[in-house]
Amino acid sequence: MKKSPLASAFVDRYNRRVLTDDGKPGMDGVEGVGSTTECMKNNVAAAIFANCSQLDNRQLDEIIAWVNLYKV
């Protein structure tokens, strides 16, 4: 079985936590805190935290490919 990351491992480029200890969205580990775009990003992080631990590497690569569709 794959090891799940801790919610505290989800950090942004400024090394700020984007999830609370229980995996809910929130800047600096505080639920509901953040700008509009930070909240959107944190919701994605929460979805990853909640749903990806049981996926295999091939499935995770598919998800990464979908995210890359939005990169310029």
Share of the chain above pLDDT 90, in %: 92
Residue 61 lies in a domain: yes
What's the CA angle centered on 22, arms 27 and 50, to 5 degrees?
95
pLDDT in tens, 47-70: 999 999 999 999 999 999 999 999
pLDDT in tens, 6-48: 999 999 999 999 999 999 999 999 999 999 999 999 999 999 9
Residue 1 lies in a domain: no
Q: Which domain holds residue 26?
A: 7-68
Residue 2 lies in a domain: no
Give how many domains the chain has, as a whole number.
1
Tell me if 60 sits within 8 A of 52, measured CB to CB: yes
CB contact set of 31 (below 8 Å; sequence gap of 6+): 20, 24, 25
